[in-house]
Amino acid sequence: MKRRAIFLIAGWAHTERALHPVASALQEAAYDVRVESTWRLLNRLGNVPWQGPSQGESSVRKKNSGLSYYAKGLRQILEKQGAPCIVVGWSAGGMVAMEVAVEHPELLERLVLIGATARLCADNGYPCGVAAGNVRAMILDMKKNPMAVLDRFFQDVSWPAVESEWLRNKKVKAAHNMGIEPLVDGLRYLQKTDLRDKLKGVKIPALIIHGRDDRIVPWQAGQWLNDSLPDSRIIIHEGVGHDIDGRQSAVLASEIIEFMEDNNLTV
């Protein structure tokens, strides 16, 4: 019997390694697990026309195109499977997964969104995001002192836990090796993407998991997703932030498995 396929997608500035603990637990449960990152999805397409850090728009989304290059990379993978797959998106990976769910629902069996949001930046009608000025400043600072930006970012990812300086430096270096242009473009993707008006039509069963103390994506963004997606449920983890997958990987894998094995969901 063919094992059910599940794809995990790590978010901005993270390599696939970030989701390996969860992936290992899912593999032990006899799933066919594959781990990607948003950076790797982008590279799958090759020859992305970088506009460079000085430009105002993200080059990962063609003008008048429905999908970003990230989502096109994910679509390319899913189309080769021959059957709908389970997609687990963490942070920016969740945004990419939602893009594909909106445009190509036939490719997804179920959707798991961890620390994800339909829109990163807050505005007058959406208080669930982060301050737009903070994201703009982050983009500008990436051109001046990227190592400092990445260091602050990974501190916020792990908060309220305090990660060792050695481990954080390792993550900073791995992210920096992705290249400044892809990192800046990834921030612009997060800055510009807004999926709020498109999610009402997504009928795919969805599980939303969020940390109450998330400093990257406020937990209220996860609640907004649960209120907006027609067939969803939400789990809020107390005492943990954005790094749920690193801090509570066994619990997270158990929640995902329970969701995937629930035969009472509408599919």
Q: For 71-128, write each residue's pLDDT tens digit.
A: 999 999 999 998 999 999 999 999 999 999 999 999 999 999 999 999 999 998 999 9
- Let me know if residue 86 belongs to a domain: yes
Query: What is the full DSSP assignment across 25-82?
Result: HHHHTT-EEEEEEHHHHHHHH-------TTSSS-TTS-TT-SS-HHHHHHHHHHHTSS
Is the residue at 49 inside a domain?
A: yes
The question of whether 123 is a catalytic residue gets the answer no
> Is position 265 within any domain?
no
The alpha carbon of residue 101 and the mean position of all alpha carbons in its chain are separated, in whole angstroms, by 13
Would you call 20 a catalytic residue per the annotation? no
Over 70: is that where the pLDDT of 52 sits? no
- Residue 94 structural domain: 5-118+127-260
Q: Please give the helix or strand (H or E) that residue 113 lies within, else none.
A: strand 108-114
Given 68, 91, 158, 232, the catalytic residue: 91
Alpha helix segments (H runs only) across 80-145: 92-103, 132-144
Our answer to whether residue 58 is catalytic in this structure is no
Identify whether 63 is part of a domain: yes
Within-domain flag for 266: no
Tally of domains within the chain: 1
Is residue 69 situated within a structural domain? yes
User: Hey, what are 65's tokens?
Assistant: 């195109």
Confidence of residue 64 (pLDDT cuts 50, 70, 90): very low
Residues 6+ apart with CB under 8 A from 188: 57, 58, 60, 139
CA angle 186, 188, 191 (to 5 degrees): 115
User: What is residue 3's predicted lDDT score, i.e. its pLDDT?
Assistant: 80
In 3-state terms the chain splits into helix, strand, coil percentages (rounded to 5) of: 50, 15, 35
**Residue 211 domain flag:** yes
Classify residue 252 as left (phi > 0), alpha (psi -120 to 50) or beta.
alpha
Q: How far, rounded to the nearest angstrom, does the alpha carbon of residue 116 sit from its chain's CA centroid?
A: 6
Q: Are 106 and 81 in contact (CB under 8 A)?
A: no
Q: How many helices (H) and strands (E) does the chain have?
A: 11, 6
Query: Per-residue pLDDT tens for 162-182?
Result: 999 999 999 999 999 999 999
Residue 154 lies in a domain: yes
Tell me, yes or no, if the pTM score tops 0.75.
yes
Percent of residues, the chain, with pLDDT higher than 90? 83
What's the CATH number where 197 sits?
A: 3.40.50.1820
Q: Would you tell me how many other CB atoms lie within 10 Å of the CB of residue 231?
A: 14
Q: Which residue of the set 14, 210, 237, 242 is catalytic? A: 242
Residue of 214, 232, 237, 245 marked active site: 214
The helix or strand, by DSSP H or E, that contains position 176, with its residue range, turns out to be helix 165-176
Confidence of residue 212 (pLDDT cuts 50, 70, 90): very high
The token duo for 125 is: 């009608």
